[in-house]
Amino acid sequence: MLDTVRDKLNRPLRDLRISVTDRCNFRCTYCMPREVFGHDFQFLPHGDLLTFEEITRLARIFIAHGVEKIRITGGEPLVRRDLERLIGMLARLDGLKDLTLTTNGSLLARKAQALKNAGLKRVTVSLDSLDEVVFRSMNDVDFPVAKVLEGIEAARSAGLEPVKVNMVVQRGVNEDSIVDMARHFHGAGCILRFIEYMDVGSTNGWRLDDVVSAAEIISRVNAVLPLEPADPNYRGEVARRYRYTDGGGEIGIISSVTNTFCGDCTRARLSPEGQLYTCLFGTMGHDFRTLLRGGKSDEEISGFVHKVWSRRTDRYSELRTLQTTRMPKVEMSHIGG
């Protein structure tokens, strides 16, 4: 029987984002800056990570509470060994309508077909510029643009469509790439989404002055490729959609800084070691690994899910102040975007 639990603001639980690793092969300056995540940084030991069986068990319980969509994240999820096996396990769960993955694209060219064969529906690829110098500087591991584009094409060829491409825009870093990115993906069958630089975590040196607003991004694109607003695809969709008036597809804007997006948020996030966060900007998780490894029954774990979500009041982007931006928050690299 489906238990459609709702939080204190009457928001249902529909989306579960599962981070399968805290490791990444990039050191993007806005996410895992090298000066923090250097050679001596202590990542989680493998034994602390939830196993694929534990993840699948939790997913089944969350689906019973109304979850319809699961997104696999990281870190970089494709560095987790045999990830295709987890995809296959999740794809077989009754009641799951959508299974997706977010990746930096570095390993996608050689893994796209296996992921599709295992049951993955779609992918989202992070790509912050087509300019070689800018992109290599931002990923900080000297990784080339061409390899990410190759991964995007491999995903499309495998049928992981529509591919979404996420660009985090930072003032003074890559805002000059906005129009080039729009032109490149216009009519290409991909959905480009621009993301305002967010105050996620506490290690990326976020400043409001570094944010390029959604309004400015839309203005820049609209000046060369005219746009019109489009309706949301579903309740709780974070990106605001715009269509090209010439039929060349659409773009999305994720604007948590200049426009709040908490009102219809239906997302929960599971960290690699089994902590559940009910907000992207969360400061405290809820420990599910101890329940899993402590012999608790599905019914007991299900009761904890209901308890956590039914007490949820999160609306960080509506309450954001200078004080809250300085609060210690879980890192985006730990729980995914």
User: Among 197, 251, 189, which residue's Cα sits nearest to residue 219?
Assistant: 251
User: Among 225, 232, 217, which residue's Cα sits nearest to residue 176?
Assistant: 217
Say whether pLDDT at 1 is over 60.
Answer: no
- Domain chopping of the chain, boundaries: 15-331
Alpha-carbon span 320 to 239, nearest angstrom? 19
pLDDT digits (tens, 9 = 90+) for 31-79: 899 998 999 999 999 999 999 999 999 999 999 999 999 999 999 999 9
Alpha-carbon span 279 to 164, nearest angstrom? 22
Say whether pLDDT at 315 is over 60.
Answer: yes
User: Among 213, 212, 219, 199, which residue's Cα sits nearest to residue 280?
Assistant: 199
pTM of the model: 0.91
Which CATH class name applies to 15-331?
A: alpha beta
Alpha-carbon span 279 to 324, nearest angstrom? 14
Q: What is the pLDDT of residue 329?
A: 46
pLDDT digits (tens, 9 = 90+) for 246-295: 999 999 998 877 776 666 889 999 999 999 998 876 778 999 999 999 99
- Among residues of the chain, what percentage have pLDDT more than 90? 76
